[in-house]
């Protein structure tokens, strides 16, 4: 997966194809504008959104890199 593509575990289906999304952890919070490519329901009533990042706050890749630890 490239840095411009993400999979996000979300509590509901996306409401549109293009969305503003906020990602955060203990230290960082970043705003992304994404295009939803696909959405898959999980067995535990969540949804995996496959998205392409269209625009993002500076430093957004830092929060994504840490999520893979």
Within 13 Å, how many C-alpha atoms sit on residue 15's CB side?
4
Domain hosting residue 57, numbered range: 5-67
All residues at 6 or more sequence positions from 32 whose CB lies less than 8 Å from its CB, including other chains: 20, 21, 22, 23, 53, 54, 55, 56, 57, 60
pLDDT of 43:
95
Instruction: Return the H-helix or E-strand segment holding 44.
Output: none
pLDDT of 64:
67
**Digitized pLDDT (tens) for each residue of the chain, 69 residues in all:** 455 788 999 999 999 999 999 988 788 888 999 999 999 999 999 999 999 988 888 877 777 665 554
All residues at 6 or more sequence positions from 13 whose CB lies less than 8 Å from its CB, including other chains: 39, 47
CA distances 48 to 12, 15, 54, Å, are 9, 14, 18
pLDDT of 66:
52
Query: In the chain, how many domains are there?
Result: 1
């Amino acid at each position: 997966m490239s840095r411009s593509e993400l999979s996000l575990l979300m509590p509901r289906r996306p409401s549109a194809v293009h969305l503003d999304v906020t990602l955060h952890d203990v230290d960082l919070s970043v705003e992304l504008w994404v295009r939803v490519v696909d959405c898959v329901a999980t067995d535990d009533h969540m949804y995996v959104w496959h998205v392409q990042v269209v625009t993002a706050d500076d430093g957004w890749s830092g929060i994504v890199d840490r999520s893979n630890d």
